[in-house]
């Protein structure tokens, strides 16, 4: 890949968007590479958790690439938006949990990418916003849909209509990110969380992700029924036998992928 890097770190694979010249802005090639790399990763049982981050200490992703978008016609713009949606959907449908390590600007398409991840940790210098209205467009990578689902309609509307940029502390207060750390600690904390998740029952973790992501699109009764089906599936696994036996024998479970 030219615009992204992948690196194994313990149980995690760190995927870094690496276009520092443009503050890691997402152009066509970068999105295509990201989708391709994530799609391959779903078959990689050695990777228990994916961590998504941006190169450098200034920016996670400063948005979709404005230079690329400037001269798009409506059909091309639609295709570009669909590629952004595919990227976000690929993150959500990846069997492994995805942690966003937000190490700086997460604006526009960058914020949309972060909110398609399962868990968000940020550095103290991170900044968030959907500044598309300043450019005469609306968010096109899912921001008008995922942001209200994540932080509620009122707070999302304020960010979307004003184009305001908020700091990491405010993002944490409104539930846009889970935790905030000094820049130099961010990756270490993400890796610690990844190792913790990797030590749990791998099938159970994957089924939790499926239950949350698919269930949130259903009504509560149907979603609980769906949860019940996934719960019953756990009882067909070695993992459930080992987990419960280990508890009763007062030892740590030994899970295998
Ligand atoms: N696209 C392209 N290039 C960018 C982008 C971007 N989003 N952001 C930064 N850059 C480039 C700059 O042009 C600059 O390049 P150069 O050195 O060649 O002049 C370089 O990165 C460094 O940036 P700055 O000099 O501006 O750095 P500052 O520290 O002064 O400012 C900011 C940092 C505040 C992040 C500033 O760069 C900025 O405001 N960037 C744009 C942020 C933005 O508006 N993002 C939203 C983009 S729109 C979007 O994401 C819509 C998604 C939906 C797409 C729908 C499909 C049709």
| Closest atom, ligand 1, to C-alpha of 63 | 50
Name the closest-CA residue to atom 44, ligand 1: 131
Does residue 138 line the site of ligand 1, with CB under 6 A?
A: no
Spacing, Cα 92 to ligand 1 middle (Å)? 25
The residues carrying an active-site annotation are: 112, 132
Cβ(107) to ligand 1 under 6 A? yes
- Say if ligand 1 is within 6 A of residue 126 CB: no
Mutational test site, ligand 1, from 58, 62, 78, 162, max ligand atoms within 8 Å of CB: 62
In order along its 257 residues, the chain shows pLDDT tens digits of 999 999 999 999 999 999 999 999 999 999 999 999 999 999 999 999 999 999 999 999 999 999 999 999 999 999 999 999 999 999 999 999 999 999 999 999 999 999 999 999 999 999 999 999 999 999 999 999 999 999 999 999 999 999 999 999 999 999 999 999 999 999 999 999 999 999 999 999 999 999 999 999 999 999 999 999 999 999 999 999 999 999 999 999 999 87
Place of tokens 């019953």: 232
Residue reference for tokens 């570009």:
80
């Amino acid at each position: 890949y030219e615009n992204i890097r992948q690196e194994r770190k313990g149980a995690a694979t760190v995927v870094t968007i690496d276009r520092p010249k443009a503050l890691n802005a997402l152009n066509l090639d970068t999105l295509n590479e990201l989708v391709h790399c994530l799609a391959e990763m779903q078959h990689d049982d050695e990777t228990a958790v994916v961590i998504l981050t941006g190169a450098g200490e200034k920016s996670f992703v400063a948005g979709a690439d404005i230079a690329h978008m400037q001269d798009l016609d409506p059909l091309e713009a639609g295709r570009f938006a669909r590629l952004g949606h595919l990227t976000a959907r690929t993150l959500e449908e990846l069997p492994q949990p995805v942690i966003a390590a937000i190490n700086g600007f997460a604006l526009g398409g960058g914020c949309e990418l972060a909110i398609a991840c399962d868990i968000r940790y940020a550095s103290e210098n991170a900044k968030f916003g959907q500044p598309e209205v300043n450019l005469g467009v609306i968010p096109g990578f899912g921001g008008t849909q995922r942001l209200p689902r994540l932080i509620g309609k009122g707070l999302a509307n304020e960010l979307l209509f004003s184009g305001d940029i908020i700091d990491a502390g405010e993002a944490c207060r409104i539930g846009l990110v889970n935790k905030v750390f000094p820049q130099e600690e961010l990756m270490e904390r993400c890796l610690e969380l990844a190792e913790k998740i990797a030590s749990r029952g791998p099938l159970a973790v994957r089924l939790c992700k499926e239950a949350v992501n698919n269930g949130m699109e259903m009504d509560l009764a149907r979603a609980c029924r769906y949860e019940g089906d996934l719960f019953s599936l756990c009882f067909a696994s070695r993992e459930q036998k080992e987990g419960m036996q280990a508890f009763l024998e007062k030892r740590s479970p030994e899970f295998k992928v």
